[in-house]
Amino acid sequence: MAAIYSNVKYKNRGKKEEDEPSKGSLAISDDIIYSEVHIVQSDQTNTQTAPDADLSHPNLPGPQDPADSSPETVTPGWAKERLLLRSLCAILFVVGLIITVLYLGNISHKETEKDGTIKKLKTDLKEKNETIKKLKTDLKEKNENNTKLQGENDKLIKEKDAIIKQFQTDLKEKNYTNTKLQEENDKLIKDKEELIRQLKEKEGKQSCNPTAQNVDEVCCAEGWKYFMGKCYYFSTDEKTWTASRDACLAVGGDLVIINTPEEENFIKKLNNDEYYWIGLTDAVKEGDWRWLDGTKLSTTSIHQYYTWKRGNCGLMQLTTDTYYLRNTLCNNVNYRKFKRVCEAKASI
């Protein structure tokens, strides 16, 4: 009986991909599978001897001479077995070739997918790094903006505190002024009530007699002085020029208007050397000093005058022939106040 042996060898040739040398993946080239098949016949042969054959017949096969090296005669059965074995080997070869191609293709596909995944991961990582970088830049800008806004907010708070403090100071001053004005108003009301009371007491008494010894009491209210048909009041309290005029008006008079040298001498004879508000002002036109009745201050009169560049209201120092003209502060309750000379018509 003959024995057949098959020896199959596979050879794989490949090359590295040029675009990604670091991957180490192989690209399958054409004609990369080779096979070798060897069929070896056994030294023993199967001979069939007919039991009735004549061994001496020249056409019949006889016992083979061991020295005879001629091949054994192949019968149809053996040929069919050999063909079957060769077909089986070919099928196995084809199956192995297909498996090898599929395996290598699968490896190549997986490598390609892996490369694509790595490339996508690298792209995503780059995008994330850029996003992080942008976020850091935005955060830095926001921190700078927050610092700037905080500085502006602190500045606004300081300014607001300063405004509130100034407002409180102004409010305190206004409250103080209102308090003072209220006190002065209350006093004026009391003075007015007192003068009204005095006038009522004089009703029915004798008329004004300039020659009477008690002419001040007969012709004027209590505390007033009589001169040439007028009564004059020299206050002991001090007020602003505006408040002094209001006080004079409240009792039926006004700040004194000096029309004659005689009237001026009468006013100055008190010899108390003090300053008194008089009815002189340049509030209508700066530098144009006039009395309250509109009469212009005479520059040719016997008395001299000069200006304090601080206000619009006139003062007179008794016992002198000088008017002190002030250019401001006629109604400043926080500045120095002065006494006043009121003038009213005498009772007839």
Q: Grade residue 163 by pLDDT with cuts at 50, 70 and 90.
A: very high
Q: CATH number for the domain including 302? A: 3.10.100.10
Looking at residue 249, its amino acid is L
Confidence at residue 310, expressed as pLDDT on a 0 to 100 scale: 64
Q: Domain tally for the chain?
A: 1
For 3-30, the pLDDT digits (tens) are 444 444 444 544 444 444 444 444 444 4
pLDDT above 70: residue 177:
yes
* Pairwise CA distance, residues 243 & 337, whole Å: 10
pLDDT above 80: residue 107:
yes
Name the token pair of 40: 């070896």
* Pairwise CA distance, residues 162 & 280, whole Å: 41
Domain presence at residue 295: yes
Confidence at residue 24, expressed as pLDDT on a 0 to 100 scale: 44
For 296-319, the pLDDT digits (tens) are 887 655 455 555 556 788 888 777
Name the token pair of 339: 């006494």
Domain presence at residue 32: no
| Residue of 209, 246, 242, 197 lying closest to 346 (CA atoms) | 209
pLDDT above 80: residue 243:
yes
More confident call, 274 vs 332:
274
Average pLDDT over residues 73-99: 85
For 186-228, the pLDDT digits (tens) are 888 888 777 776 665 655 455 678 778 888 888 888 889 999 8
Domain presence at residue 234: yes
Average pLDDT over residues 227-236: 92
Q: Is 303 exposed, middle or buried (0-12, 13-18, 19+ CB in 10 A)?
A: middle
Q: How far is CA 278 from the centre of its chain?
A: 59
Domain presence at residue 300: yes
Average pLDDT over residues 104-119: 84
What count of other Cβ atoms lies within 10 Å of the Cβ of residue 100?
A: 15
More confident call, 302 vs 119:
119
Domain presence at residue 223: yes
**Where is mean pLDDT largest: 9-13, 31-35, 174-178?**
174-178
* Pairwise CA distance, residues 97 & 104, whole Å: 10
Average pLDDT, the chain: 76
* Pairwise CA distance, residues 82 & 212, whole Å: 182
**112-116, 137-141, 248-252: which range is least confident on average?**
112-116
Domain presence at residue 172: no
- Got the DSSP string for 35-103? --------S-------TT--TT-TTS--PPPTT--PPPPPPHHHHHHHHHHHHHHHHHHHHHHHHHHHH
* Pairwise CA distance, residues 259 & 252, whole Å: 19
The residue with tokens 């505390």 is: 223
Domain presence at residue 29: no
Name the token pair of 36: 């070798």
Domain that holds residue 312: 215-345
Domain presence at residue 149: no
* Pairwise CA distance, residues 193 & 251, whole Å: 9
